[in-house]
Amino acid sequence: MRTQPARDALAVDSKDVEERLAAAATVLKATYLHPYQMHGSMGSSCAVADVEGEKATVWSPTQGVWYQKSTVAMLLGLKPENVHVIFRRGSGCYGLNGADTVTYDAAILSQAVGKPVRVQLSRKDEMAWENYGNAYVIDERAGLDAQGNIIAWDHESWSPTRGNRPGPGTPGNVVTGFLAGFSPQPFTPRSPASSPTAYNNNANAVPSYVAGNVGGRDQGTGTVKSERVLTHTIESPFWTGPLRSPNRLQNTFAHECFLDELAAHTKADPVEYRLRHLRDPRLIAVVKEVAKAANWEVRPSPKPAARKTGVVTGRGMASVLYEGDNGYSALVAEVEVNQDTGSVVVKRFVVCNDVGPVSNPDGLRNQIEGGALQGLSRALMEEVTWDDQKVTSFDWRTYHTLPLGFDVPKVEAVLLNRPDQEATGAGETSITVAAAALGNAIFVATGARIRQIPFTPERVKAALAARG
């Protein structure tokens, strides 16, 4: 990914990072890897189409009914006003599954035979040809002063893209539209990146601990003034699209694990070290509240004199202001690690959320619990695999998610009600911090740092073998 032509962008750039790193007492760096992951809807996608001459009616589970109208018209050579799209509930996808492509399948086939057609994808066809969540390679560097404080943070990432949801005129963003002769939205490399003109942390590429200064104003949540965030988007060999917490989960995994590594290097408590480098009062509040609710034990990481065999326990935490302005969340994870087998069992999540005014506490808790569990599945199990010819993770034996009947960890939700603030999102807050908290908990328990998702038993055992 590092060698491909890229579309480069700078989110923040204080223009003094190299100088500050050169003057630092210590410079630490690490690379974090996140795979392609799939939506993997429990039921495969289904649609019905009835094309009669110059008119078409389709029944579709799409998330973009209006765009289905214009793109189906393009595929069939009809006028958009002659296409009627009727939404019907289908498999949930948290982003983009096969709903759009199967709608195109049904429409093209119905036009060909002049009769109503129902298409339901096979499990293999859905999983091998859906638009996957993005893979990532992320390099983090930080400079510390003699007291262990962060004085510079440098983030550089690479991520592939191809297609997306079909927009108003891009049916080629999914595989059926492409096979019908339409191109995906164009990819144009651009390098070098120009200086940022506006602050935007929608993808959470900017760490929570830097100032986020663009246009002479600090708009981030942290205190570190020397900052650079450079992203490289490359063209993907696979179809990609939004998967719950797209890009934000991957970036936060790297940021929060790296912050934990910096705290461990300075022998500081991970909660105290976070608070030392935060300035946003609401992000500070969720960190403090989750530590209180979890009865956090103040101490450096990892556990001193941890046993090298058998089952050990640990707790880790992570926090984020989702999308830079759309919900505050902090999570503490408690894990058991079997050092003989490499298996990780999550016993407890404690999550604190601030989404502004809480109008439906039960609904908010449901969002928190569901996000944490999906984050657990993605952190421990989920990864798209392939060989030199094809995708090889195309069913539930080859693509691994939490199975039915698994031991559900206890999930405790702490809700901060802010009736004087604007309402923000909750559906993608807890999932964004789950993987980082789990990685940090494994480190606390074992002293082994794992920088690649998912934390499979094989990767855990390799990290345990490599630890000092």
Taking only the tens place, the pLDDT of each residue in 255-294 is 999 999 999 999 999 999 999 999 999 999 999 999 999 9
Looking at the fold, whether 147 and 80 belong to one and the same domain comes out as: no
- pTM here is 0.97
Q: Decide if pLDDT at 187 tops 90.
A: yes
Q: Decide if pLDDT at 436 tops 90.
A: yes
Which of 101, 129, 157 is where one domain is finished? 129
Taking only the tens place, the pLDDT of each residue in 194-220 is 999 999 999 999 999 999 999 999 999
Where does the pLDDT of residue 93 fall: very low under 50, low under 70, confident under 90, or very high at 90 and above?
Answer: confident
Looking at the fold, whether 276 and 338 belong to one and the same domain comes out as: yes
The answer to the question of residue 453 being in a domain is yes
Looking at the fold, whether 343 and 384 belong to one and the same domain comes out as: yes
Which of 92, 111, 129 is where one domain is finished? 129
What pLDDT is attached to residue 86?
98
Bridging pattern class, strands 311-321 and 213-214: unpaired
The answer to the question of residue 113 being in a domain is yes
What pLDDT is attached to residue 307?
85
- Listed range (1-10, 227-236, 305-314, 321-330) with the worst mean pLDDT: 305-314
Looking at the fold, whether 214 and 276 belong to one and the same domain comes out as: yes
Looking at the fold, whether 74 and 167 belong to one and the same domain comes out as: no
Mean pLDDT across 91-103? 94
The answer to the question of residue 72 being in a domain is yes
Looking at the fold, whether 192 and 51 belong to one and the same domain comes out as: no
CA 387 to each of CA 133, 268, 450: distance values in angstroms, whole numbers, following the listed order: 19, 43, 24
For the chain, give the mean pLDDT: 97
Task: Give the 3-state secondary structure of residue 397.
Answer: coil
Task: Identify each DSSP E strand in 309-455 by its residue range.
Answer: 311-321, 328-338, 344-354, 410-416
Looking at the fold, whether 202 and 94 belong to one and the same domain comes out as: no
DSSP 8-state symbol, 468? -
CA distance 440 to 181: 47
Where does the pLDDT of residue 305 fall: very low under 50, low under 70, confident under 90, or very high at 90 and above?
Answer: confident
Mean pLDDT across 133-143? 98
What pLDDT is attached to residue 118?
98
Which of 129, 163, 188 is where one domain is finished? 129
411 φ/ψ angles, rounded to the nearest 5 degrees: -120, 115
CA distance 355 to 371: 15
Report the CATH number at residue 53. Answer: 3.30.365.10
Looking at the fold, whether 255 and 384 belong to one and the same domain comes out as: yes
Q: Which structural domain range is residue 57 located in?
A: 46-129
What pLDDT is attached to residue 189?
96
Taking only the tens place, the pLDDT of each residue in 216-233 is 999 999 999 999 999 999
Taking only the tens place, the pLDDT of each residue in 364-389 is 999 999 999 999 999 999 999 999 99
The answer to the question of residue 344 being in a domain is yes
The answer to the question of residue 441 being in a domain is yes
The answer to the question of residue 279 being in a domain is yes
Taking only the tens place, the pLDDT of each residue in 64-78 is 999 999 999 999 999
Looking at the fold, whether 242 and 100 belong to one and the same domain comes out as: no
Looking at the fold, whether 213 and 266 belong to one and the same domain comes out as: yes
Which amino acid makes up residue 164? Answer: N
Render 64-76 in DSSP notation, one character per residue.
-HHHHHHHHHHHH
Q: Report which of 317, 312, 353, 351 is spatially closest to residue 464, judged by C-alpha positions.
A: 312
Mean pLDDT across 75-104? 96
Where does the pLDDT of residue 304 fall: very low under 50, low under 70, confident under 90, or very high at 90 and above?
Answer: confident
Count of domains in the chain?
2
Q: Decide if pLDDT at 468 tops 80.
A: no
The answer to the question of residue 360 being in a domain is yes
Where does the pLDDT of residue 431 fall: very low under 50, low under 70, confident under 90, or very high at 90 and above?
Answer: very high
CA dihedral 318, 321, 323, 324 (to 10 degrees): -130
The answer to the question of residue 6 being in a domain is no
Looking at the fold, whether 210 and 306 belong to one and the same domain comes out as: yes
Looking at the fold, whether 213 and 87 belong to one and the same domain comes out as: no
Q: Decide if pLDDT at 306 tops 90.
A: no
